[in-house]
């Protein structure tokens, strides 16, 4: 299962190497995609990694969202291509309109860097299809603006359409409905604040991120 | 014509403002009684070239919708003035 997975780099991204390392360890072939290049090089799936694209100026993801690579990724996603946004990548996907809602400053105004327990709410997404509903995953978070916010109508839609895929067992940042990760209505675009790529090796304290990235690689295979 | 634009980006009503509530608590601690409803936004100033004020407003308004605000949580108050 040798899937080519593009990892997008913006000025200020800082988790692209972690993502590539984890994807390669799971048998995929990761390659870097520069944000200013609109050619996605025929990849089977795209990961938008964590970091501080364009310094998070204006709003996290607000400037990155207009990169040539993002315009191509929006088309790719609309054609069913698997897209995963991790942390800053999640923020970019909401700014791009590929996922609903927005990520606000954490309720406690603290930068949070710790391992948290997540609960799988839906297995019907490109990131969670190998997990079991109700399963607990220990995965680190590392963010200042991870407080998921949306209108009441959007929250009802997310709930009724089974788009909330991961929640926090103990809400660290004030996110509505304890939301840690969501998917779009066609289940191929996913965003989450926690970092599965940092929980792929026993040396890092948890391997619970592997099943998520394995699902994603599998999804890339299915989408081809 | 060149116009001075000032865009105040603020959180929509009903959206929690962690910065605002933290500042509000601090005003209490400093002994300023009766400071309430603290909300933090940002102000973006720039100049815009347009045929008239109406056109300038339209340009800035579109810029706000597409880029300067995130309509999920924010809204903009626009002020336009001829550079003088």
CATH class of residue range B2-82 = alpha beta
Q: Which residues contact B71 (CB under 8 A, 6 or more apart)?
A: B65
- Does A1 have pLDDT greater than 70? no
Interface test with B, best of A60, A91, A98, A149 (most B CBs within 10 A): A149
CB contact under 8 A, A105 and B19: yes
Nearest Cα to Cα of residue A220 among A149, A132, A130, A154? A130
Residue A212 to residue A200: CA distance in whole angstroms: 10
Read off the pLDDT of residues B11-55 as tens digits, 9 standing for 90 and up: 999 888 989 998 999 999 999 999 999 999 999 999 999 999 999
The catalytically annotated residue of A16, A54, A87, A121 is A87
pTM over 0.90: yes
Read off the pLDDT of residues A96-120 as tens digits, 9 standing for 90 and up: 999 999 999 999 889 999 999 999 9
What's the number of domains chain A is made of?
A: 1
- Does A29 have pLDDT greater than 80? yes
User: In which domain, by residue range, is A125 found?
Assistant: 4-223
Which stretches of B1-84 are assigned E, i.e. beta strand?
2-11, 42-49, 74-82
Is residue A221 among the annotated active site residues? Answer: no
Read off the pLDDT of residues A128-172 as tens digits, 9 standing for 90 and up: 999 999 999 999 999 999 999 999 999 999 999 999 999 999 999
CATH, residue A40: 3.40.50.880
- Kind and range of the H or E run holding A94: helix A88-95
How far apart are the two ends of chain B, measured CA to CA in Å?
11
- Does A17 have pLDDT greater than 60? yes
B22 part of contact set with chain A, CB < 8 Å: yes
- Does A223 have pLDDT greater than 80? no
Residue A116, Cβ neighbours under 10 Å: how many? 19
A64 part of contact set with chain B, CB < 8 Å: no
Is residue A113 among the annotated active site residues? Answer: no
pLDDT of residue A108: 86
The ipTM is 0.84
Residue B17, Cβ neighbours under 10 Å: how many? 19
- DSSP, residue by residue, A20-76: HHHHHHTT-EEEEEETT----TT-SEEEE--B-GGGG-SSTTTTGGGSHHHHHHHHH
pLDDT of residue A220: 84
Cα torsion A132, A135, A141, A146 to 10°: value is: 70
CB contact under 8 A, A106 and B22: no
Q: What is the nearest CA distance from A118 to chain B, expressed in angstroms? A: 24
B18 part of contact set with chain A, CB < 8 Å: yes
A149 part of contact set with chain B, CB < 8 Å: yes
CB contact under 8 A, B70 and A151: no
B71 part of contact set with chain A, CB < 8 Å: no
pLDDT of residue B77: 97
Label residue A218 by pLDDT band (50, 70, 90): very high
Q: Which chain B residue shows the shortest CA-CA distance from A175?
A: B16
Interface test with B, best of A56, A57, A110, A151 (most B CBs within 10 A): A151
pLDDT of residue A2: 81
């Amino acid at each position: 299962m040798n899937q080519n997975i593009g990892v997008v780099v913006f000025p200020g991204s800082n988790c692209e190497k972690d993502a590539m390392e984890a994807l390669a360890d799971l048998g995929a072939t990761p390659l870097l995609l520069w944000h200013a290049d609109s050619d996605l090089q025929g990849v089977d799936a795209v990961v938008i990694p964590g970091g501080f694209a364009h310094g998070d100026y204006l709003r996290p993801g607000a400037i990155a969202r207009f990169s040539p690579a993002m315009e191509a990724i929006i088309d790719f996603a609309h054609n069913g291509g698997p897209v995963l946004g991790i942390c800053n990548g999640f923020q970019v996907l909401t700014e791009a309109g590929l996922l609903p809602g927005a990520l606000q400053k954490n309720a406690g105004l603290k930068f949070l860097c710790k391992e948290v327990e997540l609960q799988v709410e839906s297995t019907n997404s490109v990131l969670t299809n190998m997990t079991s509903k109700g399963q607990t995953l220990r995965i680190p978070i590392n963010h200042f603006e991870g407080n998921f916010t949306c209108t009441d109508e959007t929250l009802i839609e997310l709930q009724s359409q089974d788009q909330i895929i991961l929640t926090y067992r103990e809400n660290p940042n004030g996110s509505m409905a304890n939301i840690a990760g969501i998917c779009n209505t066609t289940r191929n675009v996913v965003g989450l604040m926690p970092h599965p790529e940092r929980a792929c090796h026993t040396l890092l304290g948890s391997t619970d991120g592997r099943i998520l990235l394995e699902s994603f690689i599998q999804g890339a295979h299915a989408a081809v | 014509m060149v116009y001075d634009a000032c865009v105040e980006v603020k959180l929509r009503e009903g959206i929690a403002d962690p910065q605002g509530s933290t500042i509000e608590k601090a005003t209490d601690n400093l002994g300023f009684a009766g400071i309430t409803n603290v909300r933090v936004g940002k102000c973006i100033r720039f100049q815009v070239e347009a045929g008239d004020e109406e056109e300038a407003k339209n340009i800035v308004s579109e810029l706000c919708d597409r880029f300067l605000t995130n309509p999920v949580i924010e809204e903009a108050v626009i002020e336009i003035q001829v550079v003088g």
